[in-house]
Structure 1
């Protein structure tokens, strides 16, 4: 089978145009083409008056060898890559070793548990939160009634933080083994739209993610895995030998129960701040890492559609328009858009009492009134929170507390019209853009709940973004704060064997450990961790490398 890439056709092309383009590209006759399938579809909207669809297709020919030889110097015609997933090992039929424990049921923990179950190791998955349906009710409790459950919310519970997001399924990680493809295939098995296998920027949305997470849990359980919800890990039992080597031998739960363990995967997510403190107190090596801070910005989705697609805005093959922006500022900071949600809403994403944090969410349809995105400023430990590996957490808490106070102390979020933010004056009334955040906003001056350097950088960048996307700096656009949970502020450092560099048996994983950013990369990291654990359990450790990929 051959793969053709960068095959371009007009936006409104006829169905027959694609096979005709394949034949023209390969210079073959209709009888030479046996079949074709779409491997990937994207769009090129650089020219708004001539938007094109860009395809990668896999084709089967009657005689492929001469065609491949004819195009041997053409990088757009090659043999179709093998993207099938192969297990690195399987549990022996008589396996009687320890059952691996996975802490956290977000994307990373979900796929670590799934792969371990598929390999026959019957994992135990612990999560501090609730099953996804109950967790959804608790999350709506904050959004509708300003009632926060610190153990069951946007951050904690089955499905992890990614459940209440845009459900983006792409990343910029290097993926030579096509593990991301394995993730997408498992999602489709669990009920995701098959289109995620071919779209260049696939997404799912919250409602579909809920049912998929439930389906994947049932799969893990059918394979012998076990879920235990509302089981928070509060402590570690670490043994140390005469030479100072440390090994994890058990965990203590919030209930007081102590579990003796073999390998333990820690996939706790980026907001498990109490867990990070516990790891530090127990001497597990961790270090501060960069993250970002800022606000959520909202525009009517129709504005973004028109700015990106011109007269083609609203075309069903294009959907709701997205964007990605970045600006290097005079004060040395970089401001960029983060987790852009077309046709979505801004949501309350705190997990701690007396604090406000925001995030973005959308459904598969992306048909809400507004587009929203984080507008965030990059910060780093050496410059902004030096001296302690957990200092980034305290920085997050400080500004989230300020946002809670400035918002009125009721989980309303502080908000401001963009025109007022640029002018340095508090907002007293909204314009044409209505904020979507629930449980509501308090109009104010966002400079009161952001670092001064961030305010200065954002004011410069937002004007620059208006030059890139006409209307982006419209004075009626709404800013809602604060966005602090862009990524984990710490890294639980691991070695090439995927174990903690100073505590054997502990496998830090996913976004919370500092090794992923988003659903897909976290799920891929979960697969890698599961493979490393399986190889260790079968005595074949060392066959999967790359523990330091970041």
Structure 2
């Protein structure tokens, strides 16, 4: 029998060796040298495993690396003033017992972003052989289509930065941080690591994959789902829902060549992402309860990464590219905040509809572009929407995406200006300002000097401002009950597009939970 304990706040120098980390753990545990080791090479009393690693840069002259570890001992130890050992009660996710209801056909998942991927994987692992319908293309084709869009302004409305294998997060920083406290988070991170991401993501305080690695990881997860009996149909979009007596009976699908076919099923997971506007309309028209949801609008701001590093780390050069998190309450009542900050990344244009344009941030795993960028966003309230229609938020987004497209020259190049021009509205600043609602311009302009006090140089005249960011989150929520089911029996709205997540990790967790709800209700098809 072994006994587990947790120790927090083990602080080391930057670049500390394994031996130095071990010495710090032993000291906090009140043990002698040689009492502890790693799982590969245990000490006399047991071993430790690193569970969390973060950077404490509050004192620029003495930046520390901070660890949380779990200690596994052969004998029980009492907590005392001489040690910092705290008994660890492992919280395991409860086992999911398959239900007894009979499922018609196989479960169908609409969307193959993080939510759809993890939902499909969980169902496949339990023998449910899901069918995934992804309106966009496979990774191989999608990367080519996005390259053509960025190089030549050639937009494919179904295969782009926002639609396709992996979802919108595929062309992002691949951040895996999440504000949710959920036992599924560890499972998501461990799954990503097993599929080819750096194993360190499981312990980092701010884990990220990077778009280059994420593409490979997503393909590996797709192959695992397929090996377990799941099926992924790309370039295939749900175009109608067959609902009988308040229950799902099947779905109509439009395939790669425009052919329409029917899938008989009693289970559909709507993992559709925040840009599936036509599917939002279908859901509304079929009578599923929905509600308007606030979101945000703003710009991307770029600064030299070296400036951000210096502001956060001082003269220290041995740390990874720095990030930041900023917020401000403007005098007009609007919140302004940084969003999806991408160290060492780039700003990219995005579009899913002809004649409309928005932007996002992206970075590769090494974050080595030399430029930092972040969305600087302003609250949009439902009162700002043009009507009471549940899809009025979509129309709000479209209005400013159309302005952005025209103001950038109608060739899918977004309007850009210097910070000075944005703040004054002169020169190139005019098209950027004209691509935003007035309340957002006022609030962001007011926030910039405040941010300059937090990050020295943030308000510098030559920082680059690019409009417009509109797709930070879904403008709608598809209502569901405690069992994650819509008012229509058998339909499970999930993830970011349905209004229940805000990023890769939280969307993946929601997908896992949707799968578990389905498993706990239905027995696997064919059983």
Q: Describe the superposition over 1:244-274 as per-residue Cα deviations: whole angstroms up to 9, x where unpaired.
A: xx11111111232121112100101000001
1:359 positional shift: 0.4
User: Given the alignment, which residue of 223, 232, 236 partners 1:218?
Assistant: 223
> Does the CA contact (< 8 Å) of 2:103 and 2:265 recur in 1?
no
Mapping of residues 321-340 of structure 1, within 5 Å: 321-340=322-341
Find the counterpart in structure 2 of residue 446 from structure 1. Answer: 432
The whole-number CA distance in structure 2 between the counterparts of 1:6 and 1:198 is 14
The whole-number CA distance in structure 2 between the counterparts of 1:71 and 1:282 is 64
Q: Structure 2: which 5+ runs fail to align?
A: 37-45
Find the counterpart in structure 2 of residue 352 from structure 1. Answer: 353
Find the counterpart in structure 2 of residue 56 from structure 1. Answer: 68
The whole-number CA distance in structure 2 between the counterparts of 1:141 and 1:415 is 21
Partner SS for 1:403: helix
1:482 positional shift: 0.3
Partner SS for 1:413: coil
Find the counterpart in structure 1 of residue 40 from structure 2. Answer: none
Mapping of residues 251-290 of structure 1, within 5 Å: 251-254=251-254, 255-290=259-294
Partner SS for 1:202: coil
> Structure 1 pair 378/468, CA: closer, same or farther in 2 (3 Å)?
same
Find the counterpart in structure 2 of residue 238 from structure 1. Answer: 243
Total equivalences in the alignment: 508
The whole-number CA distance in structure 2 between the counterparts of 1:454 and 1:499 is 36
The whole-number CA distance in structure 2 between the counterparts of 1:91 and 1:170 is 33
Q: Describe the superposition over 1:359-413 as per-residue Cα deviations: whole angstroms up to 9, x where unpaired.
A: 0100100001210000000111134455111000000000000000011100010
Find the counterpart in structure 2 of residue 29 from structure 1. Answer: 32
1:153 positional shift: 0.5
> Does the CA contact (< 8 Å) of 2:247 and 2:266 recur in 1?
no
Find the counterpart in structure 2 of residue 98 from structure 1. Answer: 105
The whole-number CA distance in structure 1 between the counterparts of 2:207 and 2:138 is 25
TM-score, normalising length: structure 2:
0.93
Q: Describe the superposition over 1:96-138 as per-residue Cα deviations: whole angstroms up to 9, x where unpaired.
A: 8631111100000000000000111111111111111111111
Find the counterpart in structure 1 of residue 128 from structure 2. Answer: 121
Mapping of residues 498-513 of structure 1, within 5 Å: 498-500=484-486, 502-513=487-498
Q: Describe the superposition over 1:252-309 as per-residue Cα deviations: whole angstroms up to 9, x where unpaired.
A: 1123212111210010100000110111111111111010000000001111111111
Q: Structure 1: which 5+ runs fail to align?
A: 241-245, 428-442, 540-550
> Does the CA contact (< 8 Å) of 1:91 and 1:121 recur in 2?
no
The whole-number CA distance in structure 2 between the counterparts of 1:108 and 1:140 is 25
The whole-number CA distance in structure 2 between the counterparts of 1:306 and 1:373 is 17
Find the counterpart in structure 1 of residue 80 from structure 2. Answer: 70
> Does the CA contact (< 8 Å) of 1:7 and 1:55 recur in 2?
yes
> Does the CA contact (< 8 Å) of 2:99 and 2:521 recur in 1?
no
Find the counterpart in structure 2 of residue 542 from structure 1. Answer: none
Q: Describe the superposition over 1:202-226 as per-residue Cα deviations: whole angstroms up to 9, x where unpaired.
A: 1001111111111111111111111
The whole-number CA distance in structure 2 between the counterparts of 1:513 and 1:297 is 28
> Does the CA contact (< 8 Å) of 2:408 and 2:431 recur in 1?
no
> Does the CA contact (< 8 Å) of 1:90 and 1:120 recur in 2?
no
Mapping of residues 4-403 of structure 1, within 5 Å: 4-33=7-36, 34-63=46-75, 65-67=76-78, 69-70=79-80, 77-82=85-90, 87-90=95-98, 98-175=105-182, 178-240=183-245, 246-254=246-254, 255-312=259-316, 314-315=317-318, 318-403=319-404
> Structure 1 pair 388/22, CA: closer, same or farther in 2 (3 Å)?
same
The whole-number CA distance in structure 2 between the counterparts of 1:529 and 1:21 is 42
The answer as to 2:467 corresponding to 1:481 is yes
Q: Describe the superposition over 1:500-541 as per-residue Cα deviations: whole angstroms up to 9, x where unpaired.
A: 1x21111001000000011000000000000011112139xx
Partner SS for 1:445: helix
